Homo-oligomer: A and B are copies of this chain.
Amino acid sequence: MTVHLLGPIQLEEEVERLIEWLATFGKTEKGGVTRLLYSEQWLSAQEALKEKMEECGLAPYFDDVGNLFGRAEGSSPSSKTILTGSHIDTVIEGGKYDGAYGIIAGLLATHYLLKRFGTPKKTIEVVSLCEEEGSRFPLTFWGSGSVTGRRSFKHIQKIVDSKGISFVQAMNECGFGQERFRQPFRNDIQCFIELHIEQGSVLEKKKKSLGIVSDIVGQRRYQVKVVGESNHAGTTPMPCRKDAVAIASELITYLMKQAKQVSDQLRVTVGKIKVEPNVPNVIAGEVVFTIDIRHHEEELLEQFCSTFSRHFKNVSAQYNVDILLNEWLNVKPVKMDQQLLRLSKEIAEEQNLSHEILVSGAGHDSQMFGTYCPTALFFVPSHNGISHSPKEYTAAAHLESGVKFLIHYLYRLAY
């Protein structure tokens, strides 16, 4: 039993210390972290992590987009790499754990294994992926996308940030994108293992220490424009109105009712509404609202979307108004690897670790890796489910238990 083999592990203080240390790169006045791709704070963090990797006995190197790897060469000849880690970038005023925890956990776990058991049979690499959030440039998953070939330099040629600085210029100024480092695309990855904070409150509510992700949801996003007729609130009889707010409210109410009926796992959100002219005593002539729809089964997504589209068409005809539907995002669901999932459950049970199999409602680097190589994604609890905020918090005990789980996991895969 691996549990006896490894013995008791004390990492609580160390994992908290390293989380705080990494959070100093890009720390904000409000106690959050802003570490945008190719910024000064980002580059300092990657360079500091490179040193830390060396201290942990790993051989660090960058690829040409700025992904940082720390390699522990395996003894078995021609072994493929077991890759673990997450992303180093943050949203604006983000928290200390999102992304960072997966890198720190990978570092600590590998360091522990190297110290305790020496050279692994199979090569382990810890990765600090350069970008996932899409917070500086309008492009997500640049790090994992480059490794897996889902992103390439052709995707970034015309992209600029909010200050007008081009993606290419920002990358070059950090020393990347000039063929001074190895090409990012890899064909030697055996599997990808990611540890992340949940960014939801399911684990906390169910009092579980570990989430084992079975699927990452697919997402569809729409913009809906209801074109009514602006008119005087006092002089226009109700039957003569084409009130865009009234119609939009009816559509949103329908969406929510449908969502709750179709599947427990379906998540439908209308987060943004814009009303024209948006004046109390004027009937709205136009309402634009967004729909965010997520589920882990493509078929169900497709069916839900075609059902509500049909309903919207009927409402459009009923009220004789235009309802314009624009799908601007369509990301397919991704399944995590079944064999790795079985191993996860096995280890969690062995370790008496309270765990929950769940679907990830948010996107992660594992989404890019999931269609490229066997991939496993684990969650530790997020206090109150808060993320992308300075209030993001995971208790040290949960952080530690995640790292311990990763130690056992990597041991089983690499030793």
Contacts and interface: CB of A to CB of B under 8 A. Distances in A.
A105 interface: no
A300 to B, nearest CB: 14
A361 to B, nearest CB: 3
Contact of A238 (B219, B235, B259): B259
Contacts of A361: 232-236
A253 B256 contact: no
- Nearest first, the 10 closest Cβ-Cβ pairs linking A and B are A200-B235, A234-B361, A249-B252, A233-B269, A280-B290, A249-B249, A234-B362, A235-B361, A246-B256, A253-B253
Nearest to A278: B272
A267 B248 CA distance: 18
A385 interface: yes
B246 A219 contact: no
A144 B91 CA distance: 57
Taken together, the copies of this chain in the complex come to 2
Contacts of A279: 271-272
Interface in A293-324: 294
A373 interface: no
A246 B258 CA distance: 12
Interface stretch (A37-45, A81-89, A281-289): A281-289
Contacts of A266: 238
B273 A273 contact: yes
Interface of A: 198-202, 205, 217, 219, 221, 231-240, 243, 245-246, 248-250, 252-253, 256, 259-260, 264, 266-273, 275, 277-284, 290, 292, 294, 360-363, 385, 387-388
Given A201-B240, A252-B245, A256-B249, A235 B385 contact: yes
Contacts of A264: 237-238
Contacts of A231: 385
B219 A243 contact: no
Among A277, A280, A290: residue with most chain B CB under 10 A: A280
Contact of A202 (B198, B237, B238, B250): B237
B281 A233 contact: no
B253 A238 contact: no
14 contacts: A201-B235, A202-B235, A217-B234, A219-B234, A231-B385, A232-B385, A233-B267, A234-B267, A236-B385, A238-B267, A245-B273, A246-B253, A249-B250, A271-B284
